[in-house]
Structure formats: structure tokens, C-alpha cells
Amino acid sequence: MDVQTLLNGLVLGGLYACIAVGFSLVWGVLNIINMLHGSFIILGAYLAFFAHAAFGAHPFLSLPFIAAALFGLGYVIQRGVINRVVSSPVLITLVLTFGLDMILYNAMVLGFSATPRRLALDMGRIDILGATLPLDRIAAMALAVALTAMLFQVLRGSRIGRAIVAVRMDRDAAALMGVRVPQIYAITFGIGACMAGAAGSLMSVVFPFSPAMTGLFLGKAFIVCVIGGLGSVPGALVGGLALGLIESMAGALIGPQEAVLAGFVVMLALLIFKPTGLLGKAGYE
Amino acid sequence: MQAVPIGLKRIAMSLGAALLAIGMGAESHAETVRIGAPLALSGALASSGTKQALAYEVWLEKVKAAGGIKVGDKMYDVELITYDYQTDGKKAAQLAEKLIVDDKVDFLTAPFGSGHTKITAGVAERYNVPIIAVASSEPVHDQGYTNLFGTLAPSGGLIDVMIAEFQKAIPGVKRVAVLGREDVFPNLMAKLMADKAPAAGLEVVYAGTYPIDAIDHSSSLAAIKAGAPDWIYVTGYSQDLILVRKQMADIGLEAPIVTMITGPVYREFIDALGPLAEGVTSATWWHWGTDYQSTDVFGSTKAFYDAIVAKTGGAEPDYVHASSAAALVALQMAIESAGSIDRDKVRAALRSMDAVTFYGPIKFRSDGMNSARAYPLIQIQGGAPVIVFPEAVKQADIKAFAGK
């Protein structure tokens, strides 16, 4: 196994972690499989694209604003729509977010067209240990680590974070302790959307994107969460890196056709032998 | 007891009225040519599907302005019935059937791309309805369909032209790497190149495919880099090709010739890549720089170019626009030459067609593909696609992508 393959796998894993971290939070904490997640990422990418076209804003610069805008959108969607059915079985929220996703997806097709776009910025590349790596993917990896660290800090060290954890552990008890549960749900969903927006603004440089990619991103986020495990903040990061490495090594050893398959095989094996995933906690699987 | 005869009378009257209505319907239907088109207006192929729809609109406007289609000594109105099949093959088949059975169209056109053409052509064959394809390759036309006609010429010809011209322009090209999307047309184009290259003295140092939903090409590109090719040849759709080119830059992979089928033909390829698009070559079925004079509703390549530019507000037509409009032009010419909208007569007229249109010559082979002709080769130079072959319409010489 050469260094290039390993490092390719790591930076690809960074992208996957970036894609999955918000999805993992919403699934792990709210028990909602957010089908809107892929569309949130693509929406973030479009916002970065248009911010660059209109104001010449570099995606690193527009990223915090886009993340904030997506937080607002996520908050409103959860508060206004999903909260109405949030205590129903998981299938109901799944269908609801699926429907909302169809609306957002089609709105994006109508508004932005399905033509693939990309922010044509070259961030350059660096040589590490004889391997060449693109800086934009390294930035994505750094972003994934930063988002995970931030989330870890928020959940551990802030009142809102403690309230989110409390609601996840026992909603009724949290309500009795004075936690405003609907508010916490909306904030959590908002944070998930915010992370998707941040990831999306960076993806606008890394990938050519179009609304057709929403399903692809959602699928990757799903696999990453199953591999990494739910209920653990670093789960998405570890799952993402693991999937990146698996795909990269499988691509080099058995060919790109089978690389995606290898990811699924590992996911299935984990579901059978270790349903909590690599870092997940029992009760979340 | 009297209720029975009154009831019978009512039934008879209703039946009579219904029959009259059907008769009138049939009569008004006979004055209109009904053409059905499942289109990919959303989903993965929406970018090409919307171009197809736009070209259809432009054609329809021209036909309406001319008073319709001449059938014998009458002018028939044209009704174009379209549905968005959302780039979903199953839905394409259902909608093709709905167009035939419910909407009672006289003729069909196929959606963009070989995969979905194959599906809809199968439905058309079952109902014996002539169907014109706008972008279909050999694996669609070798199914023995008698109702399928396609405006694109065989893809194999594109490969022959490229090999001959690139070897001439950039001497010393010996090693080729081939990477193709695992999909009907891109896969065919990759396979054709891998098959034809050795006969032209080219060594194939890599030949591989990538899955349809690939969002990373690192491992393929690393393998290609290890093979040190002089010519990197990649097939796929815009989204794939943009990503492949971007990732080539990510790992510093270059070669004297980089060819992408058919990315550089599309504006979005250049917009999404910026300077990275520079020097990429491609072959295409049509380019607006060609100049054909014709007797169809457009009259010339230039007039078609102007019509599309006016409709889009400045975007230039590519082969998708042209081939789509040419499909309807061919159908219109066949109806006019048959003097009827009878499917058998129109099919026969399509089969014997030998016409020059704004798009170029249209003469269908026995398998329904348009006959081979001079394919333009293009290269992105100075941020725009320029024709580098054939000589007659050439705008610039082929330049090496990167020195080695």
C-alpha cells in the first residue's frame, strides 16, 4: 500500500466526515433520519457559489454566513413542521423529511437548474511524504475536525449542550427539569443544518455539484454514521475517515468499480457483528 | 313497463352522441400531428434534457410561424406533448406508453442518452410507433428495432478521427490511458478507444471504468499516473468529467493530450473548471461553426444558431440542441414527403430519407443510425471551444495539452 493511496483515503475520509457530522447529530440526538441533509449541503454549495459570483466572496469567508443562514432554515423547519410529529415513530419523521426534501430538491432544480456547477478556484496542492494532496480536501478535513471539536465542546460545556444531551437521554425528565424540549429540538436540527451548510460551502470548490447530488451525499452520510456509530460525537469523524480509507484501498487493490461496494460490505458486516458501529453507544443503534 | 323502452332510447341517444363525439374527435385529431416526448427535465440528465426541450420549443415556434406541417395539400397543426420523466428509466417507459395509449400521439421522440433511448424505443417497438432519438449510440441500434431512428452518427467514427488527427498533430504519442463511466454511451466510447488504439500503434497503459455515482477518482487517476501516458482519454457526463479534471490537477497528472468525451462541448464544463479546462480536447457530432444550407424550417446552420442564441439569451447551441431539433426536422420532412401521418408511410419515408438539413446530412442506415460523416474535433483554447478539425471549418491548430 503506497503513501499516496493512504493519504488519498484520509482526505477523502475528511470529506465524508464533513458531509456526515450534522446528519449524525440529528440522528443520534433527535432520532430523526434527516432526509433533507443532502439537500442542505447542496444548498450551502449554491449559496457559496452565488456569494462568490455576486460579491467575489471566497468560500472560507462566506462559510460562517452560510452556516448561520442554514441554522436559521433548519431551526424554522424543525420548529414549524417536524416538531409537530417528532414524538411519532421514526418512520413518520423519515417520511416527513423525505417530503420536505423533495420540495427543496425540486425548488433547487427550478431555481438553479440541474446544470453542474463548481466554484472554479484552485487552492493549490502540497507534497507530503512523496504524495501530492489538494489543499481544498485538506481544508475539508480540517473543517470536519473543527466541527466535531466544536460540537463536542458545545455538548459538554454549554447549557444548551447539556440540555440537548438531557433531552436525548430522557425527554420527559428533561421537560420536568424545565428544559424547553421543542426549543432544544429546533436548536439541534438547526445545528445539523448549519454543519451541512458549512460542509456545502467547502464542497462548492471540491466537487462539481447539482441538485442531483443530494441523494449521493445523503447516502454517504448514512454509511458513515452506521460505520462510525451513533450517539458518539467523534463517530462521524472516525466513520468518515474509515470509509475514505476503505474506499481508497479497495479502489487501489481491486479497482474503483468495487470500491463503493467495499464500503457497503463493511457497513453490512458492522450491522451484523457490531451494530453500535466503531464508536457508537448501545441504545443508539 | 314503459320505463324500459325510454331507458333504451336514452341509451341509444347517448351512444349516438358518444359515437358522434368520437367521430368529431377523430376528425379534429386528423388535422393535427401529435408528437410525444418524455424529457429529462429534472434529475441527473436534466442539463441535457432541458436543452432538448428548448430545441423542441424553437422548432415548434418555427413550424407554427410557417403555418404548420404540410401533409399532402393541407397544413396540419402540430401538438407536442411532453412529460418530465425525472431521469428515471422506469418512468420513461411508463410515460412513453401513456403518450401512445392515453395521449394517442402519432410519433415519439426518445429522451437524451442511450440508456433511456433503449427503454423508450422498446415501448415504441411494441406499439409499432416510429421514434426518433436525439442521442443514441450503437448498443441501442443493434437491438433490431424497426421503428427507431437516431440523428447521431456512429460513435466509432469519432474515435478514428481522434486517433488519426491527434497522432498527426502531436508526434510521439505512444501510450494511452482510458477511463470510462460504467454507463451505456460512455462505456462504449471507452471500450472503442481501448479496442481501436493498438491497431494505430498505441499502447493502452490503463483501461478502467468507474461506477455511475462515483464522487472520487483518486485511485483510478493514481493508477493512470503510474502508467505515464501521452494521452489521457476519459468518457462520462459533465459532472464526472469536471471532477476527473479537477482531481487530475489535484495530483498533478498531465499528458500531451487530454481528451474528454464529451465535456468540452458543454459551456458548464468550461465555467466549472476555469483555467483547468484549457487544452482539453473532444470530438463531437456537431458544431455551430459548420455551415449547411437547407430547405428545412431553419434554412441554415447559421439561422439555427441565431434562433437558439435568441431563445437562450446568449448561450450558444451545442450538439444536444442541434441533434434534438434535427430529430423533429427529420420527422417533419418524412411526414411532408409521405404526404400523410400514417405511421407506416412515415416510417418508410424516414427509411429512404437522404436530406441535407441545418444540422448536416441525414440518411438513416438500416439500423436507424444516421450515416457517418466528418466529425468536428474541438479543443478548449483561450477559454472557449475552437474547432481544430476538419480543415474546412478549422479555427485553430491542435496544441499540446502539456509538454512532457
Residues B95, B233, single domain; the answer is no
CB within 8 Å: A109 and B46: yes
The verdict on a CB contact (< 8 Å) between B276 and A120 is yes
Four-residue CA torsion sign, A258, A264, A270, A272: negative
| Chain A CB contacts of B44 below 8 Å | 114, 212
Dihedral of CA atoms B302, B305, B309, B314 in degrees, nearest 10, equals: -90
Q: Are B380 and B245 part of one and the same domain?
A: yes
The verdict on a CB contact (< 8 Å) between B239 and A208 is yes
Look over chain A and give the mean of its residue pLDDT values, rounded to a whole number.
Answer: 88
Judge: A208–B222 Cβ closer than 8 Å, yes or no: no
Residue B20 has pLDDT above 70, yes or no: no
Whether residue A188 lies within 8 A of chain B, CB to CB, comes out as no
Contact A109 B239 (CB under 8 A): no
* Cβ contacts of A98-101, under 8 Å, gap ≥ 24: A98/A35, A100/A35, A100/A36, A101/A35, A101/A36, A101/A38, A101/A39, A101/A214
Mark whether B120 and B243 lie in a shared domain: no
Q: What are the chain B neighbours of A203 within 8 Å (beta carbons)?
A: none
Summarize pLDDT for B282-302 with one digit per residue, the tens: 988 888 878 889 999 999 999
Classify residue B7: in a domain, yes or no. Answer: no
Query: Which of B156, B394, B157 minimizes the C-alpha distance to B287?
Result: B394
Which residues of chain A make contact with B249, given a CB cutoff of 8 A?
A: 122, 125, 134
Q: Does the pLDDT at position B393 exceed 60?
A: yes
Chain B closest-CA separation from residue A106 CA (Å):
8
At B403 the pLDDT is 43
Residue A136 is predicted with a pLDDT of 86
Please check the confidence at residue B209 and state whether its pLDDT lies above 60. yes
User: Do B336 and B311 fall into the same domain?
Assistant: yes
Contact A220 B215 (CB under 8 A): yes
What single letter denotes the amino acid at residue B313?
A: G
Assigned C-alpha cell, B5:
323502452
> Mean per-residue pLDDT for B84-111?
95
Interface of A with B in 213-252 (CB under 8 A): 213, 216, 219-220, 247-248, 251-252
- Bridge pairing between strands B148-150 and B355-357: unpaired
A208·B249 Cβ contact <8 A:
no
Where is average pLDDT lowest: B26-30, B133-137, B276-280? B26-30
* B138 and B175 inside one domain: no
Interface test with A, best of B48, B178, B216, B246 (most A CBs within 10 A): B216
Per-residue pLDDT tens over the stretch A57-105: 999 899 999 999 999 999 999 999 998 988 888 889 899 999 999 999 9
Looking at the fold, whether B168 and B59 belong to one and the same domain comes out as no
Which positions of chain A have pLDDT values less than 50?
A: 285
3-state class (DSSP) for residue B40: coil
Question: Looking at the partner chain, which of B42, B243, B274 has a beta carbon nearest the beta carbon of A114?
Answer: B42
In a domain, B323, yes or no: yes
CB contact under 8 A, A113 and B47: yes
Say how many domains are in chain B: 2
- Chain A residues touching residue B43 (CB < 8 angstroms): 114, 212
CATH number of B48's domain: 3.40.50.2300
Nearest to A208 among B209, B211, B243 (CB): B243
What is this model's ipTM?
Answer: 0.86
Asked whether residue B326 is domain-assigned, the answer is yes
Name the residue facing B210 among A109, A212, A256 (closest C-beta).
A256
Q: What is the DSSP letter of B171?
A: T
Do residues A155 and A164 make contact, with C-beta atoms less than 8 angstroms apart? yes
Which residue, among A82, A49, A44, has the nearest Cα to A66 in the 3D structure? A44
B276 touches B246 (CB < 8 A): yes
Closest Cα partner for B371 from B191, B161, B162, B149? B149
B43, A114: Cβ pair inside 8 Å? yes
Q: What is the pLDDT of residues B174-183, one digit of tens each?
A: 999 999 999 8
Does some domain include residue B295? yes
- Quote the domain boundaries for residue B273: 156-284+376-393
Alpha carbon distance A88, A66 (integer Å): 31
Contact assessment for residue B184 and residue B233, using Cβ atoms and an 8 Å cutoff = no
Please say if the pLDDT value at position B277 is more than 90.
yes
Judge whether B46 lies within some domain: yes
What does the CA dihedral B231, B237, B240, B245 come to, rounded to 10 degrees?
40
Query: pLDDT for B372-385, tens place per residue?
Result: 677 889 999 999 88
Q: Is B402 domain-assigned?
A: no
Whether A207 sits inside 8 A of B215 (CB atoms) is: yes
Whether residue B346 sits in one domain with residue B276: no
Between B326 and B4, the higher pLDDT residue: B326
Give domain status of residue B18, yes or no: no
The answer to whether residues B180 and B73 belong to one domain is: no
* Assigned C-alpha cell, B129: 410507433
**If DSSP states are collapsed to H, E and C, what string results for B373-394?**
CCCCEEEEECCEEEEEECHHHC
A208 contacts in chain B (CB < 8 Å): 238-239, 242-243, 246, 272
Asked if A8 has any chain B CB less than 8 Å from its own CB, the reply is yes
Q: What angle do CA A95, A98, A100 make, to 5 degrees?
A: 110
Taking the C-alpha atoms of residue B135 and residue B125, their distance in angstroms, rounded to an integer, is 18
Q: Quick check: A106 contacting B, CB < 8 Å?
A: yes
Per the omega criterion (within 30 degrees of 0), is the bond before B5 cis? no
Pairing outcome for strands B32-39 and A125-128:
unpaired
Whether the predicted pLDDT of B91 surpasses 60: yes
- Are both B188 and B329 inside the same structural domain? no
Residue contact A114–B218, C-beta within 8 A: no
Q: What is the mean pLDDT of residues B297-311?
A: 95
Cα-Cα-Cα-Cα dihedral sign, residues B330, B334, B335, B339: positive
Contacts of A179 (CB under 8 A, 6+ apart): A163, A166, A167
Residue A155 distance to chain B (closest CA, Å): 32
The reported pLDDT for the residue numbered B398 is 92
Number of H helices, E strands in chain B: 13, 15
The enclosing H or E element of A122 equals none
- Please give the residue that has the higher pLDDT: either A137 or B57: B57
- Give the per-residue pLDDT at B340: 94
Grid coordinates belonging to B60? 415548434
Unique residue bearing C-alpha cell 498505441: B202
Same domain membership, residue B321 and residue B356: yes
**Is the minimum CB–CB distance between A114 and chain B shorter than 8 Å?**
yes
Q: Do B264 and B331 fall into the same domain?
A: no
Mutate to test the interface with A, among B239, B253, B268, B271 (most CBs of A within 10 A): B239
Answer yes or no: do B216 and A12 touch at CB < 8 A: yes
Chain A: closest CA distance from residue B253 (Å): 10
Of A4, A113, A247, the CB nearest to B50: A113
| Facing residue for A260 by CB, picked from B43, B211, B243 | B211
Of B182, B217, B242, the CB nearest to A118: B242
Q: Buried (b) or exposed (e) across A20-43, using 16+ Cβ within 10 A?
A: bbbbbbbbbbbbbbbbbbbbbbbb
In terms of domains, do B356 and B334 share one?
A: yes
Contacts of B251 in chain A (CB under 8 A): 4, 125, 132, 134
CA distance B264 to chain A (A): 13
Kindly state whether residue B244 falls inside one of the protein's structural domains.
yes
Question: What phi and psi, each to the nearest 5 degrees, are found at residue B394?
Answer: -65, 135
Asked if pLDDT for residue B260 goes beyond 70, the answer is yes
The span from the CA of B337 to the CA of B348, in Å, is: 10
Neighbours of A181 (CB within 10 A): 17
User: With bands split at pLDDT 50, 70 and 90, how would you rate the model's confidence at B25?
Assistant: very low
- β-strands B360-362, B74-84: how paired? unpaired
